[in-house]
Structure 1
Amino acid sequence: MHALPDDDSWIADHRRAIGDAIRRERLHQNRTQDDVWLCAGISRYTLQRAEGGQDVTLSTLLRIARALNVPLSHLVEAE
């Protein structure tokens, strides 16, 4: 088992990496934020929060992954 670091800064780093992966995949597919948030059934603000590395729910990440037609692991393993 891995010991957790003394602070939670690693969580913010991982959230930013996930947000970067979402943005990278969206741009790779030549899709706009409007296209993705509408397809995912979430708000524009929620997609912007996800791409910005803010805290979003697992359900939101699953919706975004489905809208981008990629497995969730493709977004969360990127770092």
Structure 2
Amino acid sequence: MGRVQELPDDDTWITDHRRTIGARIRAERERQKLTQEQVILAGRIDRVTIWRVETGEDVKLSTLMKIARVLDVPLADLVR
């Protein structure tokens, strides 16, 4: 039987992971020489949402899926 991993006492690990995801998205966008505006238009997301994603705020999974598709990268690569 597998071992169950217990969560830490606080949720700072979640915030840290969201920031890492946001940094990966920003880095991939910049690597492709895309502006936030281009991702906003192609993904049909609003300006505040892309800012929230790239700064590690809490966002919907569907938003991450849209961004991954616009960037043409597997979602798993962004959230690993």
Q: Is TM more than 0.5 here? A: yes
Q: Give the TM-score normalised by structure 2.
A: 0.94
State the superposition RMSD in angstroms: 0.5
Task: Report 1:23-34 matches (<5 A).
Answer: 23-34=26-37
Deviation track 1:52-76 (CA, whole Å, cap 9, x = no partner) reads: 1000000000000001010101110
Work out which of the residue numbers 8, 20, 29 in structure 1 matches 2:23.
20
Q: Percent identity?
A: 56
Gapped runs of 5+ residues in structure 2?
A: none
Structure whose alpha-carbon radius of gyration is higher: 2
Q: How far off its partner does 1:25 sit?
A: 0.3
Task: Report 1:1-79 matches (<5 A).
Answer: 1-77=4-80
Residues paired across the two proteins, number? 77
Name which structure has the greater RCO, CA cutoff 8 Å, separation 6+: 1
Q: Give the TM-score normalised by structure 1.
A: 0.95
Gapped runs of 5+ residues in structure 1?
A: none
**Which stretches of structure 1, 4 residues or longer, exceed 3 Å deviation after superposition?**
none
